[in-house]
Amino acid sequence: MNNFNQRNFFHTSESMCEGHPDKICDQIADTMLDEIIRKDKNSRVACEVFTGKGYVIIGGEITTSAWIDTNNIVREVIRDIGYTKPEYGFDYQTVAVLNTIVEQSPDIAMGVRKTGAKNQGAGDQGMMFGYATKETKELMPLPIMMAHKLARRLGEMRKKKILPFLRPDGKTQVSVKYVNGQPKEISAIVIAAQHDPNIGIKELRERINKEVIKPICHDYITSKTSIYINNTGRFVIGGPVSDTGLTGRKTEVDTYGSACPHGGGGFSGKDPTKVDRSAAYMARYVAKNIVAAGLASRCEMQLAYAIGGIFPVGVAIDTFGTGEVDEIKIIRAVEKTFDLSPAGIIRELKLLRPIYRKTSCFGHFGKNDPDFIWEKTDKAHILRKLLS
């Protein structure tokens, strides 16, 4: 991969609308987490959600002093997403909610200790990755950003009733052609949009192309771009009626669209003592500041932890041959600039706040939101100074 800047290739990424079954689960899990953290910051939360035709099952391990109305939270999230009509086959009023939550294992709890304490240990072992690239203003890969923006746009057009025939479920996919390592054009766009049965396929395609695709992708569409909108011709039955959903199944959608490795752990429903979430946020924070500092045009950051460990057992950086400074020197500067301990990550990124519902759809990275400290580039000047 070190010859990335000289490579010609295609890269594809996808995203989901809020009403996709897996994303319903992620949003419920993170709303549960927000409500618990709001009342008890020292809670241990590993919430898993499973949904299907007419039901939602809440499981996992939660230890907290807070009381929350699980049944009401589930229904409110489903209503907010847009499953409000019985004809959808899945709606917030009639869905059955089954709660199977248990407490966190004491064998795990003894290694994690009090949240925020200096000797707080990592909630599990594992490796986490962060990534940044100069391809876009968000310092994210272009394919995943385009896919997210298309998915978000579908939801906006539905909720504003500009495209009133749309229903909550949907998926987007964008393929980008790279020349000499840089994105040149979009080669293909794939959209699957759930819709009312009374809209004709020709009208649906024309209006989605006009109201969704062109406003988002106009700078990269060419005469060679292939566009596929509801390629089977019909997508009326969707959401949990057509497919089951589960938390943590869309890890590449949540991160970088497979532009870099993923450590394996999903994010949604997990409190920040779980380093597969919090350390992935820190890795993004580090990588983004390295690129913003001009030390590389691409950067991948890897962190690794042992369960109960106070510091990472592994720190690695790959600039794919784009680095202006030796990678070992960058790592040394990173370790002086960022606190990579589990407690330090929670403190530095202010992760004991109810901010997680906003992360659960359209990606955890690349969003311009003041609550997402891991998206700031406020440490770039420190890295530049250390490595000048």
| 298 and 135 Cβ atoms separated by less than 8 Å | no
Is 124's pLDDT higher than 90?
Answer: no
Q: Residue 228: beta bridge partners?
A: 190
Residue 3: pLDDT band (50, 70, 90) is: very low
pLDDT of 64 reads 92
Residue 2: pLDDT band (50, 70, 90) is: very low
Phi, psi of 113 (to 5 degrees): 65, -170
Q: Is the dihedral of CA 367, 371, 35, 45 positive or negative?
A: positive
Residue 117 lies inside a defined structural domain of this protein: no
Residue 349 lies inside a defined structural domain of this protein: yes
Same domain, 130 and 152: no
pLDDT of 210 reads 98
Helix (H) or strand (E) holding 133: strand 126-133
Domain of 103, CATH number, reads 3.30.300.10
Same domain, 275 and 382: yes
Residue 251 lies inside a defined structural domain of this protein: no
Same domain, 159 and 231: yes
Mean pLDDT of the chain: 94
pLDDT tens readout for residues 258-277:
999 998 789 999 999 999 99
**Domain residues for 283?**
126-134+264-386
- The tally of domains found in the chain comes to 3
pLDDT of 114 reads 58
pLDDT tens readout for residues 337-353:
999 999 999 999 999 99
Residue 121 lies inside a defined structural domain of this protein: no
* Residue 59: CB atoms within 10 Å: 17
Residue 301 lies inside a defined structural domain of this protein: yes
User: What is the Cα gyration radius of the chain?
Assistant: 21
pLDDT of 1 reads 39
- The reported pTM is 0.94
Residue among 125, 139, 172 at smallest CA distance from 274: 125
Per DSSP, the residues of 309-356 read: -SS-SEEEEE-TT--SS-HHHHHHHHHHHS--SHHHHHHHHT-SSS--
Residue 257: pLDDT band (50, 70, 90) is: very high
